Chain A
């Protein structure tokens, strides 16, 4: 069933490619839009895999290839089916991630607007060796959306306590890592988990449920949850 779906999607991509071509997006505007992605993805010098894989050299790379990153089963299947990240497939993916790769852990609703996608891809493309357009000095895109005191980041969480606390999370977030309207929170690097939770707790990230849930978690409890979800198989 999945195979069929993938074949169908491939046909759509070919069509989309014809329709949109690779007409120029605006990388500067793309850099602004990319702020929506930095919670999970790094790109630029020194970028490494975090919640999501790094995006250096993404163009023309086969899907699911960032070494050491734990891809979802869905992405592994798509990769085995031969998915390659071209302008067209990336365009389809960021339009609606789950319709291209069912069961991907990427919990992003997608960009509806073609101009937004063109601009974002124009920006990302500057981090791929080929084709051209490599900016003169690579921006350091190793960004996070909130800063947390080093002593808080240094707390080593107790996964057993995290397991108990996780009951509050799994009423919505699936322990299997599946995501559908509610993001996956499994296998995140603990630091990203801690930063995200403090961003809600401090009211920097907007979401009433998450602000409420994070709001009453202590620093130790956040660390415990991070430790538990990081190790969840």
Chain B
């Protein structure tokens, strides 16, 4: 690290003192510009870290995040498959606070006053900003799956925010009776991690083929096509022949209803008893984006060059919550957008050089032991949107060594991106 650690320990103490006051008082002519980041996930943690690191103390960075430990959604399917331990997916904010001097506030942002340029929190604080960065991830659309709401998320988990939900889902899968049925209600586009539900199915199948080989997997899917479909279907045939049935919209896969009390799933009027029902409802931007009044429909539209909101030039929206164009909603994308945004915000607040935006994404998925696949693309900023430039995808019929190398690479990527987020 280039900068002096001791200097930051000093800052942290000063901040703690400020925190105990009921309110962050912004002295007139506060010497340093302030950035507030809401959400310490793939987008928010990266943005906070890069702004703090590259401004070397010239910008005050506050990160508001309710959880003490962030459990990555990425690789949470591998936990379900038995390839990762849950604690290997957890990351604390300690390094961001101690080594990067970021003021980490464990609280919920509950309001944004765009005129006063302040954020209020559930804990009762009012925190001023010069630039606000929102990366709150997703919430679920109310009523998207008839019969399901969050109060049913124990009986029918989504496991689409990682942690206790993921552990619950795996426990339910392990408790299935022999020959039982795991059902998934897959989400409509757009949603976080396009290959996520299908990697999930692969990992559930892997687990079941070990502990419950006669069990069945039933997918109700409102989409005609899905990400890496040919690769997944080839893999399911090779590894889990006869176990997985997917019902697409041509057979009523979009017309579903669940009954969490009876544990039934109805697809196009036909009711099936299921043992596990993994409901992944339609998604929208994390609620704080709506509260800030910068959404249009379910998402927050942004300008491609710096991820600034189309409705407020002092607010930037990253990751899953924003509508930006061609990038999939992934951790890799959020991390990539965060770095472009950090560069632009730093430039706007301190006059540092602003380089042209460039984005990229690669998503790895695991089908079975050592059978990894990937898809990726590069993107650029146009007037209209973030636009795809070039891309690639794994091929069907690749040999085992390539697939194994792809899987091993994904493990390296996990270490790389989490180091890039949390230091």
B408–chain A nearest beta-carbon distance, Å: 4
A167-B339, A212-B391 given; A172·B405 CB < 8 A: no
Whether B412 contacts A179 by the Cβ 8 Å rule is yes
Question: A residues 158-197 with Cβ under 8 Å of B?
Answer: 160-161, 163-165, 167-168, 170-176, 178-182
A18 close to B (CB within 8 Å): no
Whether B415 contacts A209 by the Cβ 8 Å rule is no
Whether B412 contacts A168 by the Cβ 8 Å rule is no
Tell me, in angstroms, the Cα distance from A162 to B416 when the chains sit together. Answer: 18
B98 close to A (CB within 8 Å): no
Return chain A residues, CB-CB under 8 Å to B405: 109
Contact with A along B120-137 (1 / 0, CB 8 A): 000000000000000000
Return chain B residues, CB-CB under 8 Å to A178: 415, 419
B413 close to A (CB within 8 Å): yes
Tell me, in angstroms, the Cα distance from A165 to B360 when the chains sit together. Answer: 12
B127–chain A nearest beta-carbon distance, Å: 27
A216 close to B (CB within 8 Å): yes
Tell me, in angstroms, the Cα distance from A164 to B412 when the chains sit together. Answer: 22
Whether A170 contacts B420 by the Cβ 8 Å rule is yes
Whether A182 contacts B413 by the Cβ 8 Å rule is yes
Q: Which of A160, A172, A180 has the most CB of B within 10 A?
A: A172
Partner of A180, one of B339, B411, B420: B411
**CB closest residue in chain B, given A216:** B378
Determine the main DSSP class of B at the interface with A.
helix
Question: B residues 302-340 with Cβ under 8 Å of A?
Answer: 332, 335-336, 339-340
B184–chain A nearest beta-carbon distance, Å: 29
B68–chain A nearest beta-carbon distance, Å: 24
Return chain B residues, CB-CB under 8 Å to A181: 408-413, 415
A182-B409, A209-B362, A212-B377 given; A164·B355 CB < 8 A: yes
A168-B360, A216-B378 given; A174·B391 CB < 8 A: no
A213 close to B (CB within 8 Å): yes
B376 close to A (CB within 8 Å): yes
Tell me, in angstroms, the Cα distance from A73 to B339 when the chains sit together. Answer: 29
Question: B residues 358-395 with Cβ under 8 Å of A?
Answer: 358, 360, 362, 374, 376-378, 389-392, 394
A172-B417, A181-B408 given; A167·B392 CB < 8 A: no
A179–chain B nearest beta-carbon distance, Å: 7
Whether B355 contacts A161 by the Cβ 8 Å rule is yes
Whether B360 contacts A174 by the Cβ 8 Å rule is no
Tell me, in angstroms, the Cα distance from A167 to B411 when the chains sit together. Answer: 19
B50 close to A (CB within 8 Å): yes
A215 close to B (CB within 8 Å): yes
A208 close to B (CB within 8 Å): yes
B343 close to A (CB within 8 Å): yes
Whether A209 contacts B408 by the Cβ 8 Å rule is no
Return chain A residues, CB-CB under 8 Å to B390: 212, 215-216
Whether A176 contacts B419 by the Cβ 8 Å rule is yes
Tell me, in angstroms, the Cα distance from A164 to B417 when the chains sit together. Answer: 16
A208-B392, A212-B378 given; A168·B415 CB < 8 A: no
Whether A164 contacts B419 by the Cβ 8 Å rule is no
**CB closest residue in chain A, given B360:** A168
Question: B residues 49-65 with Cβ under 8 Å of A?
Answer: 50, 54
Question: A residues 199-214 with Cβ under 8 Å of B?
Answer: 208-209, 211-213
Whether A212 contacts B392 by the Cβ 8 Å rule is yes
A170-B420, A174-B416 given; A209·B353 CB < 8 A: no
Partner of B417, one of A171, A176, A180: A171
B95–chain A nearest beta-carbon distance, Å: 12
**CB closest residue in chain A, given B421:** A171
Tell me, in angstroms, the Cα distance from A126 to B87 when the chains sit together. Answer: 48
Whether B415 contacts A180 by the Cβ 8 Å rule is yes
A73–chain B nearest beta-carbon distance, Å: 15
Tell me, in angstroms, the Cα distance from A170 to B378 when the chains sit together. Answer: 15
3 closest A-B pairs by beta carbon, nearest first, are A182-B412, A181-B412, A167-B339
Q: A interface vs B, CB < 8 Å? A: 109, 160-161, 163-165, 167-168, 170-176, 178-182, 208-209, 211-213, 215-216
12 other A-B residue contacts (CB within 8 Å) besides A170-B420, A209-B376: A163-B54, A167-B336, A167-B339, A171-B360, A171-B417, A175-B420, A178-B415, A181-B410, A181-B412, A182-B413, A208-B392, A209-B392
20 contacts between A and B (CB under 8 A): A109-B405, A109-B408, A161-B355, A164-B353, A170-B420, A171-B336, A171-B413, A171-B420, A172-B409, A172-B416, A172-B417, A173-B416, A174-B420, A175-B419, A175-B420, A181-B410, A182-B412, A213-B378, A215-B390, A216-B378
